[in-house]
Amino acid sequence: MKFNKFYVPVLSLFLVLTSCKKNNASAQRVSSDGGVETEKPNSNYKPAFVGQTRIKAVKTSTPYKVEVLSKDFDRPWGIINLPDGRFLITEKSGYMSVVSSDGKQISKISGFPKVDSKGQGGMLDVALDPDFKTNNIIYFSFSEPFGKGNLTSVAKGKLSQDLKTIDEVKVIFRAEPSYNGDKHYGSRLAFDKDGNLFVSTGERSDKETRVYAQKTDNYLGKILKITKDGKPAPGNPFIGKAGFKPEIYAYGVRNPQGLAIDPKGNLWDVEMGPRGGDEINFIQPGKNYGWGDVTYGIEYSGAKVGEGITQREGTEQPVYYWDPVISPSGVTFYTGNIDEWKGNLFIGCLSGEHINRIVMKDNKVVGEERLLADQKERFRDVLDGMDGNIYAVTDSGKLYKISKK
């Protein structure tokens, strides 16, 4: 892997200087009604409550700087911290990289199973075992060739002490049924305080698979909760209930590429809608989040989705939605060095080409800010770093650092 020792520091210095300047004169646009969205919605649907969409803009007052630490990754998808401050970054083609805290030293880990990397597939998310410091075990999700197609799978393995290989790899869960497609794997991972693993799965995009999101005898379009061995987590809401897979924690989701636990221990997902209808959801056990039946979006053709309804008894409303879409991907709750950001939700946006900052109070959105919009990057994942800074990876292969100036 080549690394241009001259170009990156110069580029980083340029970004620091320009971003600090734009921090005082925000790059985000603000509409006449005070929101960050300036484009017309795709639909004429009305929100269920005030503040569910197009909330007022907020602006960061604390000076911060933006640096590009590296630009040499191959379609990065997930980023986490190792206990020593280094990063573990997944790359869609089927491997992971160990990266120094300054982004300069990059080494590949070998030994992973084969992935189906076409379309939106590949090596996807990664999470450390809660006991990683003593067992060196990681968990990862990937699109696995399986049956007559592929599916979202979760595996675990043990990293070597030098972090160059992974051994004892075992697939612990497969989100069946498999399907011969290349979209909507979902695939974020998050451990709860009890050491159980939340897994998000998409409904695989096509109309013939969309219906699975509302069916409970399968694993598509779901939020799942499993043990470290891939079994249903104790206390799951549907254990022992006929017609329900016991690993299901919640259902009726579309393509949840963001999954995070807030400082109070609550679970949130951020998922992609069709044309309009990107959502933030407060995920609660046993709830149905409506996809397939209700949405604030429309088909890519312009037609209604299903009956064209946004509310139905027995389904949950999104806490917030966007129309037009921002294509939200990885998310994180901020706990770092900038006081006004603490507790805020940060979202990497793909088509939106920015990092979205969401301010919440009592589980309601009260403000929105679009950061780094001037970078014109598809932000795939964001990390609340252990050093108090935010890190982000982009589809173009960059690693960003955002820190207090």
Return the active site residues. Answer: 184
Sheet with strand 197-201: strands edge to edge: 189-191, 197-201, 222-226, 248-251
Q: What is the DSSP string of 23-51?
A: HHS-SS---TTSBS--SPPSS-PPPSSTT
**Residue 69 φ then ψ, to 5°:** -80, -30
Look-up: residue for tokens 């017309």? 40
H or E segment to which residue 14 belongs = helix 7-24
Which residues on neighbouring strands pair with residue 298, listed in sequence order? 275
β 355-361/364-371 pair status: antiparallel
The closest alpha carbon to 145, from 105, 107, 174, belongs to: 174
H or E segment to which residue 132 belongs = helix 132-135
Distance between CA atoms of residues 43 and 35, nearest Å? 18
Q: Kindly state the greatest CA–CA separation across the chain.
A: 62
136, 152 contact by CB (below 8 A)? no
95, 123 contact by CB (below 8 A)? yes
β 222-226/149-159 pair status: unpaired
CA distances to 166, 172, 182, 244, 386 from 145, in Å: 20, 15, 11, 25, 35
Distance between CA atoms of residues 62 and 74, nearest Å? 33
Residues of the chain by 3-state class (helix, strand, coil), percent to 5: 10, 40, 55
- As to burial, measured by CB atoms within 10 angstroms (0-12 exposed, 13-18 middle, 19+ buried), residue 5 is exposed
The closest alpha carbon to 136, from 95, 166, 99, belongs to: 166
